[in-house]
Amino acid sequence: MSSPFLTSFLRRFSRNRGAMAGLAVLLAVVLMALVGPLLVTNDPWAMVGQPFAAPFSVDGLPLGSDTMGRDLMAGLLHGARVSLLIALISTTVALLIGVTLGALAGYHGGWVDSTIMRFTDLFHAVPGFALAVVMVAIFQPSIYSIVAAIAAVTWAPVARLVRSEFLSLRQREFVQAALLAGQSDTRIIFTQILPNAVSSIVVMGSLMVASAILLESALSFLGLGDPNMMSWGYMVGSARTALRQAWWIAVFPGMAIAITVLALNLVGEGLSDGLNTRLTGKK
């Protein structure tokens, strides 16, 4: 990435106030995930007080306690790490699968394209959330099955996006020049076409992280979360039986999910503006 491009990107990104606000919130969440568990003395699984303690009513429990007397603040801080970890890993796996298959389909075309796209259509034909529920239920709820399920239901749109980018870019002059120069298909894909499609992939990846957090939360709400991992989704799911009695048990992790997802969407919008060179010079 050249210095002029980086400078131009930062200038366009910083013009989007929503993206800057989202980035600030996202950095705060990441910092909370990294440092928070080190600052909280309570174990998120330990029963440290009476159940249903209201926020700021008990010393040492600023956000109160849940149905089992566990510290909600400790749960939020530890849950940030787990929720972000699941979202990042599942998104990375989905991007690897989607980019690989989309690049092969878009570059080679013909029967390769038809075969890969028909396989991709299978995942589009089944509702993503329903497929994720079935996969986690079959393989037993765990962090591994959740990551695999989220990746399985989110890679198909990436493959279609990358395919369309490759179909367009492979007709460009610089690709034809590389073919005439005798460069291999692998080298052309990785050095000529993929760098020109990376902006769209980056923007989609940021939005996929937000979708992954929501998917994990939905699975946990249905009781399909990892019972050994304290995540925001697990906290909301465990509070569903006491929503009327203790609203704060679900509200605080729910707000954390909503704010983080909103921040990621704002950052994704900012990345789209920043990587769109056609916006250069616009205010």
Q: Which pLDDT score is estimated for 281? A: 44
Rounded to an integer, the average pLDDT of 235-261 is 88
* pLDDT band (50, 70, 90) for residue 193: confident
* pLDDT band (50, 70, 90) for residue 36: confident
Q: Which pLDDT score is estimated for 277? A: 59
Q: Which pLDDT score is estimated for 93? A: 96
136: Cβ–Cβ under 8 A, 6 or more apart, which residues? 145, 146, 149, 219, 224
Examine residue 183 and state whether it is found in any structural domain, yes or no.
Answer: yes
* pLDDT band (50, 70, 90) for residue 278: low
Task: State the SS3 of 147-201.
Answer: HHHHHHHHHHHHHHHHHHHHHHHCCCHHHHHHHHCCCCHHHHHHHHHHHHHHHHH
Examine residue 47 and state whether it is found in any structural domain, yes or no.
Answer: no
151-162: pLDDT as tens digits:
999 999 999 999
With contact defined as beta carbons under 8 Å apart, do 229 and 87 qualify?
Answer: no
With contact defined as beta carbons under 8 Å apart, do 259 and 30 qualify?
Answer: no
Q: Does the reported pTM lie above 0.75? A: yes
Q: Which pLDDT score is estimated for 175? A: 83
Examine residue 196 and state whether it is found in any structural domain, yes or no.
Answer: yes
Q: Which pLDDT score is estimated for 24? A: 95
Rounded to an integer, the average pLDDT of 78-94 is 93
Burial status of residue 47 (CB atoms within 10 A of its CB: 0-12, 13-18, 19 or more) = middle
Q: Which pLDDT score is estimated for 282? A: 44
Q: Which pLDDT score is estimated for 150? A: 94
Examine residue 241 and state whether it is found in any structural domain, yes or no.
Answer: yes
Examine residue 211 and state whether it is found in any structural domain, yes or no.
Answer: yes
Domain count across the chain: 1
Q: Residue 35's domain is classified under what CATH number? A: 1.10.3720.10
237: Cβ–Cβ under 8 A, 6 or more apart, which residues? 217, 220, 221, 222, 223, 225
User: What is the C-alpha to C-alpha distance for residues 18 and 265, in angstroms, rounded to an integer?
Assistant: 10
Q: Which pLDDT score is estimated for 213? A: 92
Print the domain residue range for 9.
3-41+68-279
Examine residue 48 and state whether it is found in any structural domain, yes or no.
Answer: no
5-21: pLDDT as tens digits:
678 878 888 888 898 99
Give me the chain's average pLDDT, please: 87
Examine residue 12 and state whether it is found in any structural domain, yes or no.
Answer: yes
Please say if the pLDDT value at position 266 is more than 80. yes
Percentage, residues of the chain above pLDDT 90? 37
> Which of the two residues, 210 and 277, has the higher pLDDT score?
210
Examine residue 63 and state whether it is found in any structural domain, yes or no.
Answer: no
